[in-house]
A = this chain, B = another copy of it.
């Protein structure tokens, strides 16, 4: 499973793993892939700095990257208090009523409540870039496409390549024109923010559109070596994986309170996801639960635009998280969830991907 990406990053397998967990990111890097730490959960850049210190101490000089969330259109700046004034009261009432109906209790008195995620405000995402560039990172990826050109130039001055997600060929070309070094082709089946074109069609389309200018990573539907083989056959130089790391032992080391979420994912089938705007305001694929079903009911309001929708639901997410009910989880995940059937160590997944990839190539050999 060697491609030019292995030489670019000095990695053994062209497997890039996006994860909000530093324990997962470090484990992927240590197993020969490229761990990419999602920064959006760090409202405080100092906290990110400390976590990256931990990454440096626990990866022995092996390569890793970070992922920021910087929309192409700059949203209004401001604290969650200012922005909160833009949320209609009917939306707040719907959320309160729904949580009560779903049996999600109030947070215990004095519980430490995180502020709504501000990571996709430009000021915060820029602070993530500043902090990350002080560490020996090997990649900065932007989950929402091309970052502003000045950010790309800033990152390049540190000799770090920039990756950007694309759900259409024309977006991929625009990213490359802006200076992006790696395109992540994110298919319909992917978890989180995603478009409508499936990987089987999108991947060769983007590979053809960008040609030899930059390598393409396949995102969406990758959870086995067969799928890695399919992605490389379609023109990718590697894979961008996310969902499959949610049901790892290492994930729990970072997010100890995620057992209900893991239980829900382990039980879910590939048909148990839904693409909806209720998480951030932009279409994103989530696990289908009683929470997403409530938002799909006829009486539910339309989701708000980014970043208001996440501010609206962030308190609900905290309550849902604390409740620990697998049937009311709010979690981005791809259709590959149907293959995530037990909680495992990261190294076991990497090992299986590599062995299954070799088996897929052997099967293809027999077709000659």
Contact = CB atoms under 8 A, between A and B. Distances in A.
Interface string A2-32: 1100000000000000000000000000000
Interface string A344-368: 0000000000000000110110111
Contacts of A335: 197-198, 201
B235 A220 contact: no
Interface stretch (A104-112, A224-232, A247-255): A224-232
A122 to B, nearest CB: 28
A204 B226 contact: yes
A205 B223 CA distance: 11
A72 interface: no
Contact of A197 (B3, B222, B271, B363): B271
Given A364-B361, A368-B361, A198 B205 contact: no
A313 interface: no
A156 interface: no
Contact of A2 (B222, B226, B334, B367): B367
Interface residues of A, number: 45
A202 interface: yes
A275 to B, nearest CB: 9
A79 interface: no
A336 interface: yes
A296 to B, nearest CB: 14
A51 interface: no
B364 A205 contact: no
Nearest to A218: B200
A56 to B, nearest CB: 31
Interface of A: 1-3, 168-169, 187-189, 195-202, 204-205, 220-222, 224, 226-227, 229-235, 270-271, 334-336, 338-339, 360-361, 363-364, 366-368
Closest 5 CB pairs of A and B: A200-B221, A230-B230, A189-B198, A198-B198, A229-B233
20 contacts: A1-B367, A2-B368, A188-B189, A188-B198, A189-B198, A189-B201, A196-B271, A199-B200, A200-B200, A201-B334, A201-B336, A204-B226, A204-B339, A205-B270, A226-B234, A229-B230, A229-B233, A232-B364, A233-B364, A361-B368
